[in-house]
């Protein structure tokens, strides 16, 4: 009798663990510790960017793994990794988010944390930050061919970077704003805001991507903080909270229990979410690459753009194929009931 009871409990535990794993491991993040190996990054006040970026990255990954996030690292030790290879690792993992961790430098005593997404630099300062990070390619063999003649020192080269990441820009901005708000709200860091600049490490990733400048090593006070275990742990915690909010807002399975499934009624529908943004777009085809019959649902401060309304998952899959043909490659199926999300598949 006791053996049967133990076996039953084991099977129940296995089923629960398996269900939990399936629902929580859907979200994958790639954490990229900037620089490494023969590329130290900036060394303001004797602090070494590559070491600090790696420690924050590993601490961040450890926190997220405990929360059920699938974490992929571009490097876990002091090695040099080409920028193109970092993007390849991210794309191969089919991740939902890419975050590159760095430390900034300046000739003044500038301080504070900032986040960047790919785009045209709005001013010379943003260009200088991108130029510094992009100069990593000079450590690489045959970089002229790898990056199609890209020149980090030429502002015009940046224009060609923005096209590939365009469809992920809204999601990238949302993720970056979550991180920036966490720095300011949780750690009271000086707000250097979300900006756009031409970072080549973000160009080749096929997912929402953010580059984080955690602070200035050239500011001794900030350098001491980022070089400390306390500072690295706090920065990792702040980023992790933002990542978990992003996951929960856009990707978390909201209905995994059998109790919730029993609550479903006949007005259940399956829809395809093609994009999300913190701004409201006019629902015209030209705003959605020619895709017609797009509508929008507002959840909190986020506008979610959807197509199709199907009674069967098979019908929704046809709409999903259509959305991807129009270029919305990150589209996914959402289960709705009474205009409320029940499940993201």
231 and 265 assigned to the same domain: no
Q: What's the CATH number where 242 sits? A: 3.40.630.40
30 and 108 assigned to the same domain: yes
User: Domain end: 250, 266, 295, which one?
Assistant: 250
Q: If we measure between CA atoms, which residue out of 271, 280, 277 comes closest to residue 322? A: 271
Rounded average pLDDT over 194-202: 79
Task: Convert the pLDDT of each residue in 30-85 to its tens digit.
Answer: 999 999 999 999 999 999 999 999 999 999 999 999 999 999 999 999 999 988 88
233 and 207 assigned to the same domain: yes
Q: What's the CATH number where 328 sits? A: 3.30.70.1070
109 assigned to some structural domain: yes
Q: Which of 102-106, 132-136, 175-179, 191-195 has the lowest mean pLDDT?
A: 132-136
Q: For residue 320, how many other CB atoms are within 10 A of its CB?
A: 23
4 assigned to some structural domain: no
130 and 221 assigned to the same domain: yes
48 assigned to some structural domain: yes
- Domain count of the chain? 2
Query: Domain span at residue 104?
Result: 26-250
269 and 171 assigned to the same domain: no
Task: Convert the pLDDT of each residue in 136-146 to its tens digit.
Answer: 666 666 665 66
13 assigned to some structural domain: no
162 and 71 assigned to the same domain: yes
pLDDT value for 13? 43
Asked whether residue 308 carries a pLDDT value surpassing 70, the answer given is yes
pLDDT value for 126? 52
Question: Residue 18 — pLDDT band, cuts 50, 70, 90?
Answer: very low
Asked whether residue 313 carries a pLDDT value surpassing 80, the answer given is yes
* Mean pLDDT (the chain, rounded): 79
User: Domain end: 230, 250, 270, which one?
Assistant: 250
Question: Residue 155 — pLDDT band, cuts 50, 70, 90?
Answer: low
């Amino acid at each position: 009798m006791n053996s049967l009871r133990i076996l039953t409990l084991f099977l129940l535990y296995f089923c629960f663990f398996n269900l939990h794993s399936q629902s929580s491991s859907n979200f994958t993040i790639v954490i990229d510790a900037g620089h490494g190996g023969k590329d130290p990054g900036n060394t303001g006040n004797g602090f070494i960017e590559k070491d600090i970026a790696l420690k924050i990255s590993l601490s961040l990954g450890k926190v997220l793994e405990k929360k059920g996030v699938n974490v992929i690292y571009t490097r876990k030790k002091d090695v040099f990794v080409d920028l193109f290879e970092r993007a390849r690792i991210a794309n191969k993992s089919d991740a939902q988010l890419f975050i590159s961790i760095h430390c900034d430098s300046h000739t003044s005593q500038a301080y504070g944390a900032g986040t960047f997404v790919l785009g045209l630099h709005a001013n010379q300062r943003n260009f200088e930050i991108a130029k510094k990070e992009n100069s990593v390619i000079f450590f690489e063999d045959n970089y002229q061919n790898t990056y199609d003649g890209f020149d980090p020192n030429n502002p015009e080269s940046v224009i060609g970077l923005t096209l590939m990441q365009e469809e992920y820009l809204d999601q990238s901005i949302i993720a970056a704003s979550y991180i920036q708000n966490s720095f300011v709200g949780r750690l009271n860091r000086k707000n250097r805001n979300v900006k756009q600049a031409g970072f080549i490490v973000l160009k080749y990733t096929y997912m929402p991507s953010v580059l984080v400048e955690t602070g200035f090593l050239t500011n001794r006070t900030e350098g001491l903080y980022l070089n400390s275990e306390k500072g690295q742990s706090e920065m990792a915690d702040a980023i992790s909270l933002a990542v978990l909010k992003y996951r929960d807002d856009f990707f978390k399975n909201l209905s995994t229990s059998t109790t919730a499934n029993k609550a479903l009624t006949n007005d259940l529908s399956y829809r395809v979410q093609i994009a999300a943004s913190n701004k409201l777009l006019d629902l015209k085809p030209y705003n959605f690459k020619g895709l017609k019959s797009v509508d929008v649902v507002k959840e909190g401060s986020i506008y979610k753009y959807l197509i199709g309304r199907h009674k069967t998952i098979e019908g929704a899959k046809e709409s999903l194929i259509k959305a991807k043909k129009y270029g919305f490659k990150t589209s996914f199926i959402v289960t709705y009931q009474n205009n409320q999300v029940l499940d993201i598949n």
